[in-house]
Amino acid sequence: MKKFLLSITGALLLLSACKETIDTSARYVFTDNTVVSYLEHFDEYSEYVELLKQVPVSPRSESSVYQLMAARGNYTCFAYTNETIREYLQTVVEEGLIDEPTWESFTDSTKLDSIRRVIVHNSIIDGGDLASQRFEISEFPLQNNAEFPIANMAENKYTVYWSETNPDSVSINTDCAVDIKNRDILVTNGVIHRLSKVVAPNPITASKFIQRILDNGEEGLLVISRAIQAAGLMDTLSVVRDEVYEEKYQTGQIPDLKDFLSLGFVDPRVNKGTDAYAPPHRLIGFTIFAETDDYWRAQGLDPHSPNLLEELTQWILKNRQYSEDDVFKTSGVSYDSPQHLLYQWVTYHILPMRIPANRLLIHANEYGYSPYNPTKYTIPVVEYYTTMGKRRLLKLYESGASNGVYLNRFPILDDGRRGTGLEIGCDADKAGCYVVRDGELTNVQGIVNACIYPIDKPLSYNDDVRNHLMKDHIRFDGFAIFPEAMTNELRRKESKEDKHMHIYIPPSSVYQYFDNMTLNDDCMYVYFNGWGYNWCNYSCDEIKALGRYDVTMKLPPVPRKGIYELRYKILANSVRGTCQMYFGSDPNNLPVTGIPVDLTIPVNHISTGWERDTEDDSYNAEVDKRMRNNMIMKGIKSVNDEVAPRTEREKENCSRRIVTRQMMDPDKTYYIRFKSVLDSDRKELYMDYMEFVSKEIFDNPEKPENIW
C-alpha cells in the first residue's frame, strides 16, 4: 500500500504530482529583505507572490498574506516556482475540475479561492514572536515522520523525511523535496525554502482511510481494517473534533484566564505575558497499532478470506491472546459487541488519542538525558495509557538500549541503589512489540484524526502482560491521563509562546474539556508546559489550580486484582495550599483518605524520618522504611533536578505521599479528588505525577523496592 497525499478544500479532493526541475542559476541572499521582497526579485516566484496578495490571512481578516510576509515576524516560507504551481494546476485538470492548468480556467470563484488558500496557507509557518520558531534545515525534526512543532497557517502539521542515501536531501510530507541549492535563505522576518511540489495535506479521517483499504482490497493493513470494521468502530473513527466546543470557542463562550499571575500563580522565569489561554479546539484523535498482513499470512490467515473474522477469532483463542480473567464470547453475539473476543482484542490496539511519531515517548529530564543531545537516550522512559473498549493498560517504552519504541516491553534494568538505571538486557519473550515509525505502512500525516503504526508481533492483554505490569511502577504524568491533552498538542508543546506555555482549562460548568476530569466553578486550572525549562518534574511540566478548587480525576486501571498503593508526588513550596484527598470508585461519593495534606512544608521539616542519603545503603534503606511508616517516601532517582547531577530523590522539598493502600480491582474505575480546605483563593494545588505500586513491589521479601 503506497502512501498518498490528497488535498481537500471543502468538498474538493485534488491529487498532486511531484517533479523537481528548478533553475537555481540566479540565486541571491538578501539579508535586508523581507520574505516578499526577496521573492519579488525573481520572476520564477511571480505567481506565488501574486497568490500571497490574493489570499487573506483568515476569513475574518482584510489583510493579505502578502502584507503579513512584509511585516515583522518569524516566518518559515516554503516557496513555489511558477513551474511548480503549474504542475499542481495540471493535477486539478486531471481531476476534471478545470480544462487547462491556468487560473483563468476556473469558472467557480469558490473553488478558485479554495485552491489559492490550499497553496498559500499550507506553505507558511507563522512562528509568532519567537526567532526559535523560524525553521532552518538544522531545526527540522531529526526523525523521519516526525512533525514540526508548529502548524502552518492552514493548521496542518508538516512531517519530515530524510533520505537514507543522501544526508543533504530532505522532503516535507514524504515527497515534497526541499531544493538543495535554495534553502535556508535568511531574510529579516524569517527563512525561505524552495519546494519541488505543492504541499497539500490530506484531512481524510481514519474511517475513510480504512474504508479505502477495504474497498480496494489493499494489502498491508487489510486484516486490522476488516477487524475494525467488524467491531463497529468506523463511526467512532470518523470524528475529527468536538463541534459544540468549536462553536462555543468561536463565539467567545470559552474564556481565557486574564492576568493569571495577578491571581496568585507564581511563574516568574517562564511567563512573559499576562494570560493563560483556553485551547482553541477540542480535537478527537486515535492511535492504532497494527500487525501487518505479512504477519497474518505467516500465521496461515489469508487477508482476503471470506472467513477471515472467524479464523482470526479462532487464532486469538488458540494462541491465548487474552487473560484467564477476561469474560468473553466467540459466538452468539456480533463482532461489534463488547462481549465478543474479537472486539476486545481489536480495541486493545487503539488509544483514544492521536500521538505523532516523535511524541510516542517524551524525553525531557530523565536521569542522564540532555536536551542538548536530544537523540541520545539513556534510562527508560515509559508511558501507561488506557486503551479503547474495556479499560486496559498499554505500556509504551523507549530507552537508549531498546533502539526504538516498544509496546509492553519488560527488560532487565540496572536499578540497584548504586545502579545506572539503564536497560542491560531483555529476554526475547519480554521484548514486546516493536513500533515501526517510518515504514511504508506507517501513516502519521495522511490521516487528520489518527496515526497508524505497524508492529512486528501480536499485541494482546494476556496473562503474561498483566502479570508483568503488576511488577511495574505504574507511574503516570498528571496530564497523561487526559487523551485530549496529547491530541490537541497541549502536553509538552515544543514552543515557548505564552499561548502554549500556559493552558487554561475552564470549569466543567463552562465546558468539560477533559472527559477524565471535573472542575468546580471556583477553580482556576492551568497547565504549565515548561518547554525549554529544566524543572524537577516528571516530563518537566506541571499542573496548578487556584481558588477554592474541587478537582476530580479518573485514574488509569490497575492490571490485576490485588493490594496497591496510590502515590502522589509533592514539590513543596510556600505558594502551595492544603488539600484534602479522596479516593474510590464512585465519583459522586468518594471516601476521605487520611488527613489534609499541607503542600507547603518540605519533607525534612516534618516528622517523617527524612535524612539525606549517605554512603551506607543499609542505613539509607532504614531511613526509607521509617518514612514509609509515616506514609511518605522520597522522590524518585530517575528525574534530574535542574542542578545536575542532583535528582528528585535528593531534594528535600520533593516527596511522594502514599494516598491510600488498599485492594483494587481491574474491572473497577477509580477516581481521586483534591479539595482545598483553606478559606483562600490564592493557594495552589500542585500536580506532577501519580503512581500505582502493587504489594508485590513495596512488600517483596526477596527484592526490595528500587529507588528509581
Mean pLDDT of 636-659: 89
- Whole-number Å distance between alpha carbons of 285 and 355: 8
Do residues 288 and 224 touch, judged by C-beta distance below 8 A?
yes
Distances (CA, A) of 689 to 555, 639, 663: 11, 12, 21
Same CATH topology for 6-194 and 204-240+283-458? yes
What is the per-residue pLDDT for 271? 58
What pLDDT band is residue 445 in, cutting at 50, 70 and 90?
A: confident
What is the per-residue pLDDT for 22? 29
Do residues 528 and 543 touch, judged by C-beta distance below 8 A?
yes
678: DSSP letter: S
* HSE-up (13 A, CA, CB side) for residue 660: 17
One DSSP character per residue, 351-414 reads: ESS---GGGSS--SSBTT--TTSTT---S-EEEEEE-SSS--EEEEEE-TTTTS-EES---EE-
Residue 1: pLDDT above 80? Answer: no
How large is the greatest C-alpha to C-alpha distance in the chain, in angstroms?
Answer: 84
- Whole-number Å distance between alpha carbons of 449 and 240: 6
Residue 329 dihedral angles phi and psi, to the nearest 5°: -130, 150
Within 10 Å of residue 240's Cβ, how many Cβ atoms? 16
Mean pLDDT of 486-490: 97
One DSSP character per residue, 96-126 reads: TS-SSSSGGG---HHHHHHHHHHHHHTTEEE
- Whole-number Å distance between alpha carbons of 49 and 219: 43
Cα angle value 700/702/708 (rounded, 5°): 65
Mean pLDDT of 226-250: 98
Beta bridge partners of 434: 406
What is the per-residue pLDDT for 643? 67
What is the per-residue pLDDT for 15? 25
What is the per-residue pLDDT for 300? 98
Which residue in 149, 207, 197 sits closest to 489, CA to CA?
Answer: 149
What pLDDT band is residue 8 in, cutting at 50, 70 and 90?
A: very low
Mean pLDDT of 321-330: 97
Mean pLDDT of 686-707: 96
For residue 589, the Cα-to-chain-centroid distance in whole angstroms is: 32
What is the per-residue pLDDT for 609? 87
Do residues 159 and 172 touch, judged by C-beta distance below 8 A?
yes
Instruction: Tell me the three cell numbers of residue 263.
Output: 491571581
Residue 258: pLDDT above 70? Answer: yes
- Whole-number Å distance between alpha carbons of 707 and 693: 13
Instruction: Tell me the three cell numbers of residue 395.
Output: 505500556
Which residue in 500, 32, 605, 567 sits closest to 277, CA to CA?
Answer: 500
- Whole-number Å distance between alpha carbons of 97 and 99: 7
What pLDDT band is residue 346 in, cutting at 50, 70 and 90?
A: very high
Mean pLDDT of 188-192: 96
User: Helices 46-54 and 82-94 meet at what angle, rounded to 10?
Assistant: 70
Three-state DSSP at 707 gives: coil
Do residues 137 and 194 touch, judged by C-beta distance below 8 A?
no
Do residues 293 and 227 touch, judged by C-beta distance below 8 A?
no
Dihedral Cα 58, 61, 64, 65, nearest 10 deg? -40
Which residue in 328, 33, 18 sits closest to 179, CA to CA?
Answer: 18
Mean pLDDT of 435-445: 94
Residue 242: pLDDT above 60? Answer: yes
Which residue in 110, 99, 201, 113 sits closest to 158, CA to CA?
Answer: 201
Cis, bond preceding 306 (omega within 30 deg of 0):
no
Range with the lowest mean pLDDT among 34-48, 532-546, 548-562, 660-674?
532-546
Side-by-side strand order, sheet with 176-177 = 160-162, 170-172, 176-177
| Contact residues for 63 (Cβ-Cβ < 8 A; gap 6+) | 56, 57
Residue 28: pLDDT above 80? Answer: no
What pLDDT band is residue 82 in, cutting at 50, 70 and 90?
A: very high
Which amino acid, one-letter code, is at 145?
N
Residue 424: pLDDT above 80? Answer: yes
Dihedral Cα 147, 148, 151, 157, nearest 10 deg? -30
Query: Mean pLDDT over all residues of the chain?
Result: 92
Do residues 580 and 677 touch, judged by C-beta distance below 8 A?
yes
Please state, for a pLDDT cut of 70, what percent of the chain lies above it. 94
What pLDDT band is residue 272 in, cutting at 50, 70 and 90?
A: low
Residue spans of beta strands (DSSP E) within 232-380: 286-291, 350-351
What is the per-residue pLDDT for 534? 82
Do residues 357 and 451 touch, judged by C-beta distance below 8 A?
yes
- Whole-number Å distance between alpha carbons of 490 and 156: 16
To the question of domain 6-194 being in CATH 2.30.180.10, the answer is: yes
Residue 674: pLDDT above 80? Answer: yes
Mean pLDDT of 16-34: 46
Q: What is the pLDDT of residues 499-516, one digit of tens each?
A: 999 999 999 999 999 999
**Over the range 565-589, which residues count as b (16 or more CB within 10 Å of their CB) and which as e?**
bbbbbbbbeebbbbbbbbbbeebee
Q: What is the pLDDT of residues 516-570, one digit of tens each?
A: 999 999 999 999 998 888 888 999 999 999 999 999 999 999 999 999 999 999 9
Within 10 Å of residue 93's Cβ, how many Cβ atoms? 14
Which residue in 695, 650, 657 sits closest to 674, CA to CA?
Answer: 657
Range with the lowest mean pLDDT among 54-58, 166-170, 244-248?
166-170
Range with the lowest mean pLDDT among 334-338, 370-374, 551-555?
370-374
Residue spans of beta strands (DSSP E) within 157-313: 160-162, 170-172, 176-177, 185-187, 190-194, 286-291
What pLDDT band is residue 270 in, cutting at 50, 70 and 90?
A: low
- Whole-number Å distance between alpha carbons of 567 and 588: 22
Do residues 159 and 456 touch, judged by C-beta distance below 8 A?
no
What is the per-residue pLDDT for 605? 79
Residue 16: pLDDT above 50? Answer: no
Q: Which helix (H) or strand (E) holds 470?
A: helix 463-470
Domain ranges of the chain: 6-194, 204-240+283-458, 245-279+474-698
Range with the lowest mean pLDDT among 232-236, 464-468, 571-575?
571-575
Please state, for a pLDDT cut of 90, what percent of the chain lies above it. 85
What is the per-residue pLDDT for 167? 86
How is domain 204-240+283-458 classified at the CATH fold level? FAS1 domain (2.30.180)
Range with the lowest mean pLDDT among 202-216, 221-235, 474-488, 604-618?
604-618
